[in-house]
Structure 1
Amino acid sequence: MHHTTRELRLAAALVEAADTLSDSFGIEDYLQRLADHCVDLLAAQAAGVMLIDGGRTVSLTGSSAHEDMAIDLLQAQHSGGPCLDTYGSGRAVPPVSIRAARAASRWPDFTERALRHDVVTTFAVPLRRSDRLFGALNVFVPTLLGEPSSGSELPMAQILADSASLGLQNNTVHSQCRTLAGQLQQALSSRVRIEQAKGMLAERWNARADHAFMALRQYARRRRLPLDRVASAVIERSADDTELRREFDGTAGGPS
């Protein structure tokens, strides 16, 4: 089967979009590469990504090509533009002539700035995975798009955006799993230290382990210290043994 160069470049872009589970993942670089692929595959002047969380814009990223222009055009959409329309509806904004939009008073701030940058056509697609909307991908084109070109440009942009959205979602899940694993490991390590300290005190005082634990816990409470920190001090033999023993005598009524 024969594959065109453009198809191979698209395949490479989709593979790259799936690579979000490494420790070196950076969202700004990731989104800039997405915008770069749009410029490359869609013959655009520039492209930009607007991430939105809870209706608030949290990040603007432009393609390497004409990055300043892309950021400027994203910033110009504070009062309306393709990105906000796409995010609001969850649907793509098909190719729109900047001059026609300007004449119709559609997105006045955005279209005025787009004309200054010699943008002729723009379109946007949602960054979306299932019911979650991450934001929008906006493409800026120096020519007037009409059929049949616009019939392929918009779906290709959506494919890139969908692939990136899946990558972002996978990275979010991956980060949550890593955080949970770290918390569980920390809790396990803390429990091991507490058990070790409890055993050391029980052996030192010739006492029951539960009484040693009660003394350990009471010592931590009185001094408003984390129990794990007190346990570590016992293991390192830096805790005040006299005070600990006083807590033990008061809690357990002395050695058994």
Structure 2
Amino acid sequence: MHHTTREGRFAAALVEAADTLTETFDTGDHLRRVAERCVELLSAWAAGIVLIDGGEAVALGGSASGGREEAALELLAAQRDGGPCLESHGSGRPVPPVSIGVAHAAARWPEFTERALRHGVVATFAVPVRRRGTRFGALNVFATALPNCASDSWRSELVVARALADAVALGLENHRAYDRSRSLAGQLQEALSSRVRIEQAKGMLAERWQVGTDEAFTALRGHARRRRMSLDRVARAVIEGGPVDRL
């Protein structure tokens, strides 16, 4: 559905940011799409999201107006030694608009501010990507003009950015839970399948040797131990017609 109003586009962006329950989910693509929506909604020069684990960036996605996505990614990557993303992530609070020129003169985030000035970025702010007590990273917005922090416009932009960041965090948390549930389901299915194969192999040996199933299982287990093989692997071999030592 095409949304023409800002409110409609904002609502659609929130849904997109939280929609992560798919098998084809790709973190980098997801972050890039959210960054695109952020640029569109805030009329920003660029925006990006960095996911941080153990103080290191583990994933990032950026977008910029005029097709300068590489510049946006460069500004995110330049924050490995300090920047609004790391600061917001570390504190769990927004970093309000910062003049790049002032920050550079004060030697605050030297590498980042130097790159930002090179691209004509005048100001930046960041909000944390977090869900309750879990901090995932930060969303960073870059502008070519200093906002008036006392204006309603700035407060509105901060609300939009924080809402998008919260939706991203919700989506990431849900995808982690989705991955865990799929992994657990796979493990349970494999355990069940293994048990079925072992029972099948046990029955085949009992019939082959004309013995009870307990004796057949003892032989199956003993063969696995002597050959240092898993019981399931031995069962597979039996089902495929392979021999088993009978003691």
In which range does the TM-score fall when normalised by the shorter chain?
Answer: over 0.9
- Work out which of the residue numbers 130, 133, 136 in structure 2 matches 1:134: 136
Q: Which residue of 2 aligns with 1:15?
A: 15
Matched position secondary structure for 1:127: strand
TM-score by length of 2: 0.93
Q: Which residue of 1 aligns with 2:227?
A: 223
When structure 1 is superposed on structure 2, of 137-146 and 73-82 the one drifting more is 73-82
Q: Which residue of 2 aligns with 1:5?
A: 5
How far apart are the structure 1 equivalents of 2:107 and 2:186? Answer: 53
* Equivalent pair of 1:95/1:150 in contact (CA under 8 Å): no
Query: What amino acid maps onto 1:69 in structure 2?
Result: A
Q: How many residues align?
A: 241
Cα displacement string for residues 100-157 of structure 1 (whole angstroms, at most 9, x for unaligned residues): 2223332222112111111111000111011111111111011111123211111210
Matched position secondary structure for 1:198: helix
Query: What amino acid maps onto 1:201 in structure 2?
Result: L
**Cα offset for 1:194?**
0.1
Q: Which residue of 1 aligns with 2:110?
A: 108
Q: Which runs of 5+ in 1 are unaligned?
A: 251-256
Matched position secondary structure for 1:105: coil
* Equivalent pair of 2:124/2:143 in contact (CA under 8 Å): yes
Query: What amino acid maps onto 2:97 in structure 1?
Result: P
**Cα offset for 1:4?**
7.9
How far apart are the structure 2 equivalents of 1:79 and 1:231? Answer: 54
* Equivalent pair of 1:32/1:64 in contact (CA under 8 Å): no
The percent identity for this pair of structures is 62
* Equivalent pair of 2:64/2:72 in contact (CA under 8 Å): no
Q: Which residue of 2 aligns with 1:165?
A: 169
How far apart are the structure 2 equivalents of 1:100 and 1:64? Answer: 23
Matched position secondary structure for 2:245: helix
Q: Does 1:150 align with 2:154?
A: yes
- RMSD of the alignment, in Å? 1.5
Q: Which runs of 5+ in 2 are unaligned?
A: none
Summarize the alignment of residues 11-90 of structure 1 with structure 2, pairs less than 5 Å apart.
11-63=11-63, 65=65, 66-90=68-92
How far apart are the structure 1 equivalents of 2:54 and 2:101? Answer: 32
Query: What amino acid maps onto 1:190 in structure 2?
Result: S
How far apart are the structure 2 equivalents of 1:167 and 1:222? Answer: 49
* Equivalent pair of 1:81/1:107 in contact (CA under 8 Å): yes
Q: Which residue of 2 aligns with 1:254?
A: none
Q: Which residue of 2 aligns with 1:123?
A: 125
Q: Does 1:178 align with 2:182?
A: yes
Cα displacement string for residues 83-105 of structure 1 (whole angstroms, at most 9, x for unaligned residues): 11101101110111112222333
